[in-house]
């Protein structure tokens, strides 16, 4: 023991020193592995898996900025990410105008002989159907074909008329029968006077005030479904078909389906060379 030289110790000391350096270096690294909670969120802004409005908006802006030629479903994706689903309507997202092989401008170009931007009956080609065709084009029934007949306003019934009609069409078959009309009169003429006053008419269209329900919770404003709800709807095809469908000029995809009675088959291609076909896609539920 007495004979141990300093060299031994120095070696030992050097070794010790080295270890200490290692330890010193290691400690800061270890501290980085285990940061305090606030530092952890700053380093990981996506959080624990929820789609925040901030992230959704950023994604929408990236898509807007860099993806010009995008499929229709992507238009809806952007709307959903921006939280604009309540604004769905004509002209938004994938709800675009119709495509037409023949339109108002074509009609003007072909038949507006005196170039007054109006097409008269006489300017249409003579045929047994001419008058019929004319009346089906003249939507505002003013006896002339103008741009107004080909505008969106002409294609849909105004909200008031629509609402009134729905109220009166009690069997909802899209036809207001004389019977339905008279029943409306009878039920609006509460005092059976044989006539309706403006107040009766108004009352007929005003909903009855809701009766307070003693078991009901105090009403809260309805909550907007979260973005993830709409994304789910979108990818499940519930906002609309995810495919684009054929465009004007494209060959129509052929199909062969049976009638609902099960007694005959209809193949689209069977009409080729005979006459045009109108396809009405819809659902009854």
Partner 1 sequence: MSSNTRVGIEFEQPKTFDERIEVASSCCASLEFTMPLVVDTMKNRVEKAYSAFPDRLYIIDQEGRVAYKGGRGPFGYMPRELEQTLVMLLIAEPPALATAADEPVDQGSDAEDAETPAEPASESDEVADDTAAPAAE
Pick from 171, 181, 201, 224: which binds partner 1 (CB under 8 A)? 171
Q: Which helix (H) or strand (E) holds 79?
A: helix 72-81
Q: How would you class 93 by CB atoms within 10 Å of its CB: exposed for 0-12, middle for 13-18, buried for 19 or more?
A: buried
Does 195 bind partner 1 (CB under 8 A)? Our answer is no
Does 137 bind partner 1 (CB under 8 A)? Our answer is yes
The single residue listed with the structure tokens 């109108």 is 278
The single residue listed with the structure tokens 């609309």 is 240
The 231-260 contact track toward partner 1, x by CB under 8 A, reads ------x--xx-xxxxxxxxxxxxx-xxxx
> Which range binds partner 1 by CB under 8 A, 28-36, 60-68, 124-132, 212-220?
124-132
Pick from 18, 106, 201, 205: which binds partner 1 (CB under 8 A)? 106
Contact 94, 73 (CB under 8 A): yes
C-beta closer to partner 1: residue 225 or 237: 237
Q: For the residues of 191-234, what is the DSSP string, one character each? A: T--SS--HHHHHHHHSPPPPPP-TTPPPP-PPPPPPHHHHHHHH
Helix (H, G, I), strand (E, B) or coil at 147: helix
Pick from 40, 129, 202, 228: which binds partner 1 (CB under 8 A)? 129
- Listed in sequence order, the residues at least 6 apart from 68 whose beta carbon sits closer than 8 Å to its beta carbon are none
Contact 58, 37 (CB under 8 A): no
The 54-83 contact track toward partner 1, x by CB under 8 A, reads ------------------x-----------
Does 169 bind partner 1 (CB under 8 A)? Our answer is yes
Pick from 157, 203, 224, 235: which binds partner 1 (CB under 8 A)? 157
- CB atoms inside a 10 Å sphere around CB 229: 12
Pick from 79, 94, 184, 227: which binds partner 1 (CB under 8 A)? 94
> Which range binds partner 1 by CB under 8 A, 37-45, 58-66, 164-172, 200-208?
164-172
C-beta closer to partner 1: residue 6 or 284: 284
Reported residue count of the chain is 285
Contact 224, 235 (CB under 8 A): no
> Which range binds partner 1 by CB under 8 A, 13-21, 44-52, 129-137, 195-203?
129-137
């Amino acid at each position: 023991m007495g004979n141990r030289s300093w060299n031994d110790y120095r070696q030992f000391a050097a070794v010790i020193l080295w270890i200490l350096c290692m330890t010193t270096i290691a400690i800061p690294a270890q501290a980085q592995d285990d940061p305090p909670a606030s530092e952890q969120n700053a380093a990981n802004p996506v959080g624990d898996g929820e789609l925040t409005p901030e992230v959704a908006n950023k994604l929408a802006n990236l898509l807007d900025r860099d993806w010009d030629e995008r499929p229709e479903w992507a238009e809806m994706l952007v709307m959903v990410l921006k939280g604009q689903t309540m604004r769905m309507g004509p002209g938004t997202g994938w709800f675009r105008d119709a495509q037409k092989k023949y339109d108002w401008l074509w009609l003007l170009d072909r038949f507006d002989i005196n170039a007054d931007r109006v097409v008269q009956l006489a300017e249409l080609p003579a045929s047994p159907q001419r008058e019929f065709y004319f009346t089906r084009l003249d939507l505002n029934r003013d006896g002339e074909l103008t741009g107004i007949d080909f505008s969106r306003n002409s294609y849909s019934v105004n909200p008031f008329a629509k609402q009134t009609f729905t109220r009166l069409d009690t069997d909802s078959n899209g036809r207001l029968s004389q019977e339905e009309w008279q029943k409306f009169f009878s039920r609006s003429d509460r005092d059976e006077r044989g006539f309706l006053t403006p107040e009766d008419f108004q009352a007929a269209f005003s909903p009855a005030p809701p009766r307070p329900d003693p078991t009901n919770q105090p009403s809260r404003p309805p909550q907007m479904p979260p973005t993830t709800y709409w994304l789910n709807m979108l990818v499940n095809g519930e906002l609309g078909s995810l495919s684009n469908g054929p465009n004007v000029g494209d060959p129509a995809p052929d199909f062969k389906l049976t009638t609902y009675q099960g007694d005959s088959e209809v193949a689209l291609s069977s009409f080729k060379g005979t006459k045009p076909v109108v396809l009405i896609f819809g659902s009854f539920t």
